[in-house]
Structure 1
Amino acid sequence: MPDITWEEPFSAESSNCFRLGTDANGNAYIAVAGQEETYLTDTREALHTLIRDIKAGKADHLL
């Protein structure tokens, strides 16, 4: 696992909290807070997953 520096979680009432992070190479990561070992990188799959989670109401606080 890369050495990821995580930012403070973005949270909202009754929603999952997401954390954004970066590594020394400037790659971006996103994970559900508390589950940082299961992260997504800045791939097309990551973007699709984020959009699906937003549409499902899991990340409404990011809008």
Structure 2
Amino acid sequence: MTDIQWEAPFCGEGNNCFRLGTDTEGNAYIAIAGQEDHPLTDTREALTRLILDIKAGKADHLL
């Protein structure tokens, strides 16, 4: 598997925590904290937009 550099976990108001990561090729990943061996992948821009929308309350039902 690609060597992913994970950022610190972001936790919502409940027990929901996720992490963003990038690899040396610039690919972005998102995973539930503690389950980093099964990440989703997309462009960093797409994942950043998703996280910003969640933090803004636009998709809080996902957390």
User: C-alpha distance in 2, partners of 1:57/1:23?
Assistant: 25
- How far is 1:16 from its partner? 1.1
| TM-score, normalised relative to structure 2 | 0.67
- Give the number of equivalent residue pairs: 53
- How far is 1:7 from its partner? 0.2
1:3 aligns with 2:10: no
What corresponds to 1:22 in structure 2? 22
Distance 1:12 1:55, change over 3 A: closer
CA deviations over 1:24-48 (Å, ceiling 9, x no partner): 00000000000001100006xx86x
User: C-alpha distance in 2, partners of 1:19/1:55?
Assistant: 16
SS at match of 2:16: coil
Q: Counting strand residues as a fraction of each chain, which structure ranks higher?
A: 2
User: C-alpha distance in 2, partners of 1:7/1:29?
Assistant: 10
Structure 1: tracts of 5 or more residues without a match:
59-63
User: Which structure would you say has the larger RCO, counting Cα contacts within 8 Å and 6 or more residues apart?
Assistant: 1
SS at match of 2:11: coil
SS at match of 1:18: strand
1:38 aligns with 2:17: no
Root-mean-square deviation (CA, aligned residues, Å) is 2.5
